Structure 1
Amino acid sequence: MKILKLPVSDPKKFGPKRAQKKRKLEEEGQLNLFSGRVLPLHARSAFEEALRRDEKGDLDEAKKLYHQAIRKDDTVSDAYCNLGIIESGEGNVALAINYLTLCLKHDPRHFEAHFNLANIYGEAGNKELAKLHFEIAIEIEPEFPNSYFNLGLLLAMEHQYAKAVEVLQTYCKLVSEREQETALELLEKLRAML
């Protein structure tokens, strides 16, 4: 029996994906005429302030503000998702899963919740639930490459080499040549295992 040594990968592939309230105008088919710094003309909502605090690392205040946003019915699913990320980062896995599933209760197709649940389940050793949530994330956002990369790693660890090769090839089609390096090394090893 051969032992497959997985390369150390870029940690951002495994990391959480924070939910954002606003989408870029370009993604909505509109031209963004405001490429510089935009000053808000109104007070930030509880969610917006929570996200700002979260991104600056003020997690205790961010948690309070996310809870406030939920009470005010302000971007509830995104607030639950980001609470799940914070709790996961603090090692509170059960609470993180609870928040992420509450997110899915409000929005069953919430991409970030599925992606983050997949990562949490994968780290906890529940590879079947991890694979399921990565597959759902891929169905929702088929152009997000990290879902393919992480799913490919899980499949390789489960000795499903042919499927892992297929998934990692899709990942390589979605990223730049520089980002393909780790995946190409893994693909070479997986093909040798087939």
Structure 2
Amino acid sequence: MAKVVKFPLPDPEKFGPVRVQKKRSVEPKPPGQLNLFTGAKIVRLHQLSEFEEALMIDNQGDVNEARKLYQKAIDDGDSLADAYCNLGILEWQEGYTTKAIDNFTLSLKNDPRHFEAHYNLANLYGEIGNFPLAKVHYEVSIEIEPSFPNSYFNLGLTLAMNKEFPEAVLVLQRYRQLTSPDNYKQADDLISKLQQAY
């Protein structure tokens, strides 16, 4: 007889998107001869870059204006990976899954180690039921940012959905090590149910 294991529903914030909150600094170039043939730079009269302005408007909740400004930042080459990632979140929240995946992928094209893009792609794939791809992107996000606990919790849920119960328990135990005791109950309940399943 098959045993039915009911998994607890995750807290919504664990599966929610993670927005890039500030412009990433550009890696310093190694010392050596200066490149005399770089393109011209536009000098802005105010302090905010296109991306920073888009982020500010996005945080104020003006989705349409934020979308335009993220696109303008992309067109101007300003923080491409970050702008694509945050634009992907807007598309996802509006229900445009394909556009969201495209933007997250473009973010990764510009920065293959972009933590938020991997994490958001994993969440999106998990939401649509593509657990193998969700697993890959959670694992990559953990490689990039090993101290972010929600990646472990969500990976644990994904492994559970893939019926990889022992692996899910190990990942959830790691989540417990990284999070506060306030978050233990849900992980402990899930661990207990998973251990009963195998």
Bigger radius of gyration = 2
- 2:93 — aligned with what? 89
Q: Counterpart in 2 of 1:55?
A: 59
The structural deviation recorded for 1:175 is 0.3
CA-CA distance at 1:21 after TM superposition: 2.2
The residue identity in structure 2 corresponding to 1:143 is S
State TM-score, norm by structure 2.
0.86
Contact 1:84 1:98 in 2 (8 A): yes
Structure 1 residue runs without a partner (length 5+): 24-40
RMSD (Å), alpha carbons: 1.3
- Preserved CA contact (<8 Å) 1:111 1:140: yes
What is aligned with 1:154? 158
CA distance in 2, matches of 1:171, 1:42: 42
TM-score, with structure 1 as normaliser:
0.88
| Paired letter, 1:15 | G
| Ranges in structure 2 where 5+ consecutive residues have no aligned partner | 25-44
Aligned partner letter, 1:43: Q
Deviation >2 Å, runs of 4+? 20-23
Does the aligned pair in 2 maintain the 1:84–1:95 contact within 8 Å? Answer: yes
Kept in 1: contact 2:23–2:52 (CA 8 A): no
Amino acid at match of 1:155: L
Tell whether the 8 Å contact from 1:103 to 1:113 is kept in structure 2 after alignment.
yes
Q: Aligned partners of 2:62 and 2:133: how far apart in 1? A: 31
CA distance in 2, matches of 1:106, 1:146: 24
Find the aligned partners of 2:4 and 2:65 in 1 and give their Cα distance.
Answer: 46
Count of residue pairs brought into register by the alignment: 177
